[in-house]
Amino acid sequence: MYKITFQKDNGEIVEGFGTEDETILQIAQKSNVAIDAPCSGNAACGKCKVKLIEGDLESPKTRHIADEEYEQGWRLACVSKAKSDVTVGVPDIASAYKSRMKLADLSSEDEIRIFNEAKEGALEAGYTFENNMDVLEVEMDVPTLDDTMPDNERLMRKIKELTGVEFVRLPYSVIRKLALVLRGSDFHVKCVIQKTSTSVFVYDVLPAKADVVIGGLAIDIGTTSVSAVLINMQTAEILGKASSGNGQIRYGADVINRIIESMKPGGKERLQDAVIKETINPLIEEMCKGAHFPKKRIYRMSIASNTTMNHLLVGVDADPVRMEPYIPTFFKTNSIYASDLGIDVHPDAHIIFAPNIGSYVGGDITAGTFTSMIWNRPEMSIFIDLGTNGEIVFGNSDFLMSCACSAGPAFEGGDISCGMRATDGAIEAVKIDKETMEPELTIIGDPGTKPVGLCGSGLIDMIAELFVCGIISPKGKFIREGKRIRHDKYGMGSYVIAFQEDAGSIKDIEITEVDIDNFIRAKGAIFSGIRTMLNSLDLPVEIIDDVYVAGGIGSGINMRNAVNIGMLPDIPMEKFHYIGNSSLTGAYMMLASREIEKKTYELGQSMTYMELSTINTYMDEFVACCFLPHTDSYLFPTVELR
């Protein structure tokens, strides 16, 4: 057993213990030291670089460590094993991908604008924001020796009288507190109820003098990020908003790696704990604290997420999702409650799920499709969600068709050595001076925040700028020289985005040809998906009336740059709309509105799914797209070098 001392960039020191058979990554994980391992510790991604400061580490050299770096002490934690007590430095970038929680400042109009716009759109389309939750004031007769009806019957009788509904149910949580609350309030209470035509379910009983707001929680569980809003169920007002990395990230960046991890002994429980105990519950805690809202007054939840994420959340076997014939346990389920999963809200809170369409198109897409409103217009539109993988929905009020592109996690910073989530320190926009090749960076966070890495929108900008400035070739190879351009001994080029002294890191921030190549594949997967879908319907790109782009890739996306790199079709700029995290917005709307909840289920059932891999021409399309902007430049007539 050796002692491993982890020194973080911020000065924090953590001590862990492990045997010589455990990797430094494994020891870090069990010692609660965040080190990213999006490839699940297979030495494939190079994200877990740590710096050996003292001690003896058995650690092979990999392609991710340059000679010079190796000499400086850089090692991949996932292949390093201690042979003595060891001290290692853990740079910020090693934990930037799995990132901290961020609480939104709701006084900023920007944070809730997108929800209000979506709500207005739904209202215009004729949807009401009504749900069956309500607060009912109930005043009972105080019992006497001549009126000895027990508490539960006394309350139920009065609720029947007030609602006209025969069947009233008091769950255990209410039974348990009933005597105290009734006697503490002189038998004058407020009940949080859910009322249908045949039954009343009583979620809670509180003294009549209490100020009762019915809380609702909408969560978007992305493969990389988790976002949530706390709402007032009766007004649909947003009371809190927060996001954080998905704690499952340490078990792999993509859904396949997560599923594989979940199939190991105890894996389902580990993955479930990572997203619930380590991610969702702390998010709820902080968000409720920020909003001064008691978390046990959240009585209803909605969840939008891809099929794998909702299966791992629920703790069911996800292997059939990835194995032919790709059968999930559920598309839709209405039998899960907060207490089943240990989510720290009211134990009886019902969890509604945006419905999955298939193994690779999940509830995040049905929720997002509702948000995009493309189903409500006669014109043909495209909805694209750029998350981990990219999904595309095409259609109008008559039909909807969806597909999933194997874009990988690049849009959320995965598979990219300098990639990270769109959180503090992320470069979300880039401009490069053509002459000097000096970059101008926009960084998420308070003024003065130093750059740590590139998030999705920053990556699109970076590659577009390198391309239009002639710094990289259409194949993504460096073709100019300068102080920011480097080549290692194998000839692999890179561009220094920020030198160490300017970066919030203990090393330079660089983008390499391997990163650029990974990103080109990702953007190629999107465009070839769009093309294949339109081709299958014999429709030209010009038929597209509007493109709605969603995804937590930054505060926005530079559509011009997205066209310049050949990710989105070269149509007039005004046809593009960035709609933010449409999955969260959709989850919010289905939570607040029963009509929208039902419509979302309908969308899920009516949408057809196209499996791209079964289309003969898809591979050719994809190969043609792995080029900047495309091998067929006629498809991108407006793209020009600067």
Helix (H) or strand (E) holding 108: none
Single out the residue of 56, 58, 141, 153 in contact with a copy of itself (rule: CB under 8 A). 153
Cβ-based nearer residue to a copy of itself, 263 or 506: 263
Residues in contact with a copy of itself, shown as a per-residue x/- string from 602 to 631 under the rule CB under 8 A: ------------------------------
Cβ-based nearer residue to a copy of itself, 53 or 175: 175
Residues in contact with a copy of itself, shown as a per-residue x/- string from 353 to 392 under the rule CB under 8 A: ---x-x----------------------------------
The answer to whether 166 contacts a copy of itself (rule: CB under 8 A) is no
SS3 511: strand
Give the whole-angstrom CA distance, residue 75 versus residue 85.
16
CB atoms within 10 A of CB 528: 24
- Strand spans (E) along 208-313: 215-221, 225-232, 238-245, 298-305
Cα dihedral across residues 5, 8, 9, 10: positive or negative:
negative
Check: CB of residue 390 under 8 Å from CB of residue 526: yes
The answer to whether 144 contacts a copy of itself (rule: CB under 8 A) is yes
The answer to whether 537 contacts a copy of itself (rule: CB under 8 A) is no
The piece of 172-180, 226-234, 254-262, 507-515 that touches a copy of itself (CB under 8 A) is 172-180
Side chain identity at 401, as an amino acid letter? M
Cβ-Cβ contacts under 8 Å for 584 (sequence gap 6 or more): 218, 219, 220, 227, 228, 229, 304, 367
Name the minimum Å distance from CB 360 to a copy of itself.
12
Backbone φ and ψ for 316, nearest 5 degrees, come out as -95, 160
Q: What does DSSP say about strands 188-195 and 199-207: parallel, antiparallel, or unpaired? A: antiparallel
Name the minimum Å distance from CB 340 to a copy of itself.
4
Single out the residue of 170, 309, 498, 544 in contact with a copy of itself (rule: CB under 8 A). 170
Name the minimum Å distance from CB 479 to a copy of itself.
46
Side chain identity at 70, as an amino acid letter? Y
Structure tokens of 197?
Answer: 């035509």
Q: Measure Cα distances from 158 to 112, 167, 199, 245 in Å.
A: 40, 12, 14, 47
# residues near a copy of itself by CB under 8 A: 44
Helices (H) and strands (E) in the chain, counts: 18, 29
Check: CB of residue 176 under 8 Å from CB of residue 194: no
The answer to whether 325 contacts a copy of itself (rule: CB under 8 A) is yes
Cβ-based nearer residue to a copy of itself, 177 or 480: 177
Name the minimum Å distance from CB 146 to a copy of itself.
8
The answer to whether 169 contacts a copy of itself (rule: CB under 8 A) is yes
The piece of 138-146, 413-421, 427-435, 501-509 that touches a copy of itself (CB under 8 A) is 138-146
Single out the residue of 267, 282, 320, 474 in contact with a copy of itself (rule: CB under 8 A). 320
The piece of 228-236, 311-319, 494-502, 622-630 that touches a copy of itself (CB under 8 A) is 311-319
Single out the residue of 32, 128, 150, 264 in contact with a copy of itself (rule: CB under 8 A). 150
Check: CB of residue 246 under 8 Å from CB of residue 254: no
Burial of 71 (0-12, 13-18, 19+ CB in 10 A): exposed
Give the whole-angstrom CA distance, residue 216 versus residue 53.
48
The answer to whether 539 contacts a copy of itself (rule: CB under 8 A) is no
Give the whole-angstrom CA distance, residue 31 versus residue 600.
42
Name the minimum Å distance from CB 249 to a copy of itself.
24
The answer to whether 171 contacts a copy of itself (rule: CB under 8 A) is yes
Binding site for a copy of itself (CB under 8 A): 143-145, 147-153, 169-172, 175-180, 183, 314-317, 319-320, 324-331, 333, 335-337, 339-341, 356, 358
